[in-house]
A and B are shown apart, each in its own frame.
Chain A
Amino acid sequence: MTKHAPDHSSTPSVLHQTVRAGALPAPGVPTPRPFPYADSPPFPATIGPQPAGMPLHACMGLNSCQGSDRFGTRGRPDTGQPNACAGQGYCATATDHTCHVQNHCRNQGGCGLYGTAEEMDNPGNNACQSLGSCATPINAERFSTNGPNQGKSVWARARAVFEHGVWPELRQELLSGQTVSAAQPLPETLGLPPAPFAQTGPTYLWISDDNGARDNMTACGASGLSGAGGCS
């Protein structure tokens, strides 16, 4: 049997292929200048070590505790500092997935590409495995295709749902549980997401390292409107 070399664990190569011949300009060129995220740490392609016993999450600013984000407890590579508290983290810690119903666990679904109006109104707020909606991380360009949030940012909706629905409930669970370290801050009010992304969530320009690493994430769909590569 031939061993299939490419890593298919999250982004099969077919998602990036096209049978179209002929010269096309490189996608995304020209990129915005100046690069808006020069002062931010590069997007971490791999997920760092996480605080024990804390829930995973679907995207930036949806973390529940200190040190819970893509950099993990090791912190940002440039400062060595982990994020300080809930709501301030850089990006998803849930296993990256590219499509609807591929989430592994509660609150780990992205949203916006496929799914019902109700699902799209509750990104990052799914009950369990396979009941989540769409790819993580939730790139800033992604918008809901159904429901009351149609045409609007999925990430902004996810942040609002987290702030007003998921976090208060999760915080109570964590406070009443036995597994959380006493040093772990669990503030009633969430911290702000990292500054350049506070109002948008993680942009694909940042995730793709200024258009240099487009494979850092893939979102499904053939219309080219997912904002993070697509499967043509």
Chain B
Amino acid sequence: MAGAAHRALPAQHDPATRLTPAERKFVAWLNAHKTRDQVLAELEANLQVAVEVELATIPIYLFTYYSIQRDAASGEAIDPVQAFANKAGGVIMSVAVEEMLHMSLSANVMYAMGWAPQIYGKAPAAYPTPLPSHNPVGPRGPNGETAELIPLSRLTFEQLWHFLQIEYPEPLDAPPQDRDWQTIGQLYSYVRCLLRTDWLSDADFQRGAAAAAIQPYNYSPNNVDTLYPTGKFDPWKPAPPAPRPGWSDSYPSAAAAADYTNRADSHAGASQLLCISTREDALLAIDTICDQGEGYPVPNLGAGADDDPSKREQSHYVKFLKLQAQFAAYGATTETLADEPSPPPPQLPAIMQDQLDQAQLVIAFPDNPTTDSYPPELQPIARFCSACFQYMLILTETVYRVPPAGQKLFFNEGLHRSMIWVLDKYIRTIREIPLGNGQFMAPVFENLDLGERKDSFAGLTRFGVEAVNAAQALANTVPPNSSMATIYGDVAYYAALATGTPAGLAPGKRPLVDVRPYWSE
């Protein structure tokens, strides 16, 4: 996070972070050399960059997340390798959830200032990818490389290094940077300085109605996927306050074994997902983003290891570093880690990549797949993955156009269903499709063109029908009752579930909401 500050005494919530000396100097320079119009133009451009940076991280983290088999063993049979895989999944998902929060926060700041955040079609164009405006050269990685290029890759020691590249904490009193930024914290530091100039007042944050912004009630820090069991548990034991069961009391219940990766107090301001109507709100939103990513700043030291007053939630950087530190390779790594927070010792029990691979707890995904890299018969199936992803981005943009009274229902029926019930299950299904070379089909998150936003549901439907047809054609090539027939049937089911087309394939299920009414002005 940008610069040193002090942790406030317990209060309603943390105040906005104090400016560092470097930031104070830069704000004075901005006040002296920039006009109001220039400050506003830079804010619009940099907030859009921030939205795209947050967006870029989501496919990267999700790709690795979906390479992990988290619960191949039931609670009573979890071994250390399975436990690590499950923990890795929980940790990565906990960060992905907060990246969605960060994108929403930056988008809410934009919206409050009168600018429509652009998300549809703004994911990275190809992988490995630089993050938008990132300095192409960074700290040395485990293989000696310094390129800031992030791949889509399965869970490995090296991929966790790339996660660290994304979340690398900024040094003490680092300069604000709007291009070739070294750390995300320095990009947000630049935005913070623009927000702090004398050219702005609270009225500048009231050009988009706070009631129409993405509301706090849509965000929850944890869900069953951000949790992980700390070890073996008794899957039959009821959750507390149930009385002790009559059978042998060997392992704890799932509830007692669960570790929560995110915490409800890991935010500045009144809530995690802030709506913006003042300058202070915007600054607090940026504090939440920076603290969660890189850690709460410790005075005269730099980034801390945690991001919450209760000190129970680690920053993204520390979460990933501690995962990496459990790989056996960590002990001999030559990667360049930040001085603060200080690197952890190797975590035990040490895990070898071979153990994860041999147990098939990390699926053999190809690196950086594209639709075109898959065999022609699988390409429509891959393409629908991107179509669903893009439609989710349009749904996010559409939230700002939904009358506030209907936002909760729209969010549930649009975003939640598309994330949890369509895309999540679709990816879990396609990753069962063998590619014939020892690898399995992996998701793609391409900037697929669904047409104009008002027509995008029709575009999604078109790609869905193509996926259904491809899956059904493949099903006809395998024995009717085989596991592959079931998998192809499931692909068709989820593609049809999203749009209700072809009719009858997902009976009794409601399709995703069509955004057309909100874009037909």
User: With an 8 A cutoff between CB atoms, is B255 at the interface?
Assistant: yes
Q: Which residues of chain B are within 8 angstroms of A224 by Cβ–Cβ distance?
A: 70-71, 73-75, 78, 86, 229, 235, 254
Interface size on B, residues (CB 8 A): 86
Q: Which of A101, A117, A155 contacts B220 (CB 8 A)?
A: A117
B224 close to A32 (CB less than 8 A): no
Q: How far is the CA of A101 from the CA of B420 in the complex (A)?
A: 10
User: With an 8 A cutoff between CB atoms, is B63 at the interface?
Assistant: no
Q: Which residues of chain A are within 8 angstroms of B240 by Cβ–Cβ distance?
A: 143, 151-153
Q: Which residues of chain B are within 8 angstroms of A33 by Cβ–Cβ distance?
A: 247
Q: Which of A19, A20, A153 contacts B239 (CB 8 A)?
A: A153
B238, B260, B412: residue with the most chain A Cβ atoms closer than 10 Å: B238
A200 close to B238 (CB less than 8 A): yes
Q: Which residues of chain B are within 8 angstroms of A5 by Cβ–Cβ distance?
A: 480-481, 489
A31 close to B236 (CB less than 8 A): yes
A152 close to B75 (CB less than 8 A): no
A73 → chain B, closest Cβ, in Å? 24
Interface residues of B (CB under 8 A from A): 69-78, 86, 89-90, 217-229, 233, 235-243, 245-248, 253-258, 260, 264, 359-361, 363, 408-409, 412-413, 416-417, 420-421, 424-425, 428-429, 431-432, 440, 472, 475-476, 480-481, 483, 486-487, 489-490, 492-494, 502, 505-508, 510
Q: Which residues of chain A are within 8 angstroms of B481 by Cβ–Cβ distance?
A: 5
Q: Which residues of chain A are within 8 angstroms of B254 by Cβ–Cβ distance?
A: 141, 143, 224-227
A232 close to B428 (CB less than 8 A): yes
Interface residues of A (CB under 8 A from B): 1-2, 4-6, 8-9, 12-15, 17-22, 24-25, 27-29, 31-33, 36, 99-102, 112-118, 120, 130-131, 140-143, 145-147, 150-156, 199-201, 203-205, 220-227, 230-232
Q: Which residues of chain A are within 8 angstroms of B476 by Cβ–Cβ distance?
A: 2
Q: How far is the CA of A130 from the CA of B359 in the complex (A)?
A: 38
Q: Which residues of chain B are within 8 angstroms of A221 by Cβ–Cβ distance?
A: 223-225
A223 close to B69 (CB less than 8 A): no
B459 → chain A, closest Cβ, in Å? 22
Closest 3 pairs (CB-CB, A-B) = A224-B71, A221-B224, A32-B247
Query: Which residue in chain B gives the minimum CB-CB distance to A145?
Result: B222
Q: Which of B239, B412, B480 contacts A130 (CB 8 A)?
A: B412
B224 close to A145 (CB less than 8 A): yes
Q: How far is the CA of A200 from the CA of B74 in the complex (A)?
A: 21
Q: Which residues of chain A are within 8 angstroms of B361 by Cβ–Cβ distance?
A: 20
A161 → chain B, closest Cβ, in Å? 15
Q: Report 28 cross-chain contacts, Cβ distance below 8 Å, ordered by A residue.
A: A4-B505, A5-B480, A13-B486, A13-B490, A14-B425, A17-B487, A18-B69, A24-B72, A32-B247, A32-B248, A36-B245, A100-B416, A102-B417, A114-B220, A114-B224, A114-B420, A141-B236, A141-B239, A147-B264, A150-B222, A199-B242, A201-B238, A222-B225, A223-B90, A225-B224, A225-B257, A226-B224, A232-B72
Q: How far is the CA of A102 from the CA of B421 in the complex (A)?
A: 9
B245 → chain A, closest Cβ, in Å? 7
